[in-house]
Copies of this chain bind each other. A is one copy, B any other.
Amino acid sequence: MSSSNILKNISVDCVVFGYERNALRVLLRQEFINYRGRIYEEWKLPGNHVLREETTDETAVRILREQSGIAEDVYLKQLSVFSDVNRLKLRDRDYKWKKEQGVGDNRVVTVAYYSLVNISDIDASHLYNVARWHKVSEVKELIYDHKDILDTALMQLREDLLNKPILFELLPELFTLTELQTLYEIILDTSFDKRNFRRKISNMKYLIPSGKRQENVSHKPAMLYLFDRKIYEKTKQDRFDFSV
């Protein structure tokens, strides 16, 4: 990568959320940092510098493609800028490693994005370097300020899912109402009454029973639903409700 091609002071980091085996997960990349004679195993968010001829949105798409094998259109939203002067220097070994990467500046402002993907859509063999899905609830420490970024993304996701039908992005095309409810409950860390949840769902005209049912389950097979984006775009309306 020719350094005149990249903006040395600006990067993009992506918080890629997925949902698998009853847990919200985040895609992290592994790096090994050699510091004072010891090898540290570190995890970081997929990220990269912004190229001179690219918007930050394009950088985010490129990161997803190059580092996660995510080729299709996915939900991607700009979160926030992280610009703390010492964000790369919070731990000495991170900073030393950063300097070894050779991009040549130690002041990097990063634009964070978050993304929602359906894990089963992703060809795991395309995952760049060592990248793995981690349970969000079990992520303790990340390189630089990436744990802050992850925490911010999670807060934003919780807020967004109350106002926009985005959780479908985490599910396969066809899903059951119980799967959807469980997903809401896991991310919001709460629980809902099944009947009330379904009544609310049935007011959402863009959530459509597909006619197909689960197969090979040892209980009454559930109806599979799908999210119709076109109907949503047509019927959504701004909420006029200043409640706080």
Contacts and interface: CB of A to CB of B under 8 A. Distances in A.
Interface of A: 7-10, 50, 52-57, 78, 80-81, 83-85, 107, 109, 111, 161-165, 184, 188, 190, 200, 204, 236, 239-244
Given A50-B109, A54-B85, A83-B55, A244 B163 contact: yes
A109 B7 contact: yes
Copies in the complex: 2
Contact of A244 (B56, B84, B109, B236): B236
Contacts of A53: 85
B7 A52 contact: no
Nearest to A109: B10
Given A9-B9, A78-B81, 20 more contacts: A50-B83, A50-B109, A52-B107, A53-B85, A54-B85, A55-B83, A56-B81, A81-B81, A81-B111, A83-B111, A109-B111, A161-B242, A162-B239, A162-B243, A163-B244, A190-B240, A204-B244, A236-B244, A239-B243, A239-B244
Contacts of A239: 162, 243-244
Contacts of A84: 55
A236 B243 CA distance: 10
Contacts of A78: 80-81
Q: 9 closest Cβ contacts across the A-B interface?
A: A56-B83, A55-B83, A162-B242, A7-B9, A81-B111, A56-B81, A164-B244, A9-B9, A163-B244
Contacts of A162: 239-243
Contacts of A8: 9
A162 B81 CA distance: 24
Contacts of A54: 85
28 contacts: A7-B9, A7-B107, A7-B109, A10-B109, A50-B83, A52-B107, A53-B85, A55-B83, A55-B85, A56-B81, A56-B109, A57-B83, A78-B80, A81-B81, A81-B111, A161-B242, A162-B239, A162-B240, A162-B241, A162-B242, A163-B243, A164-B244, A165-B244, A184-B242, A200-B242, A204-B244, A239-B243, A239-B244
A53 B109 CA distance: 11
A54 B107 CA distance: 10
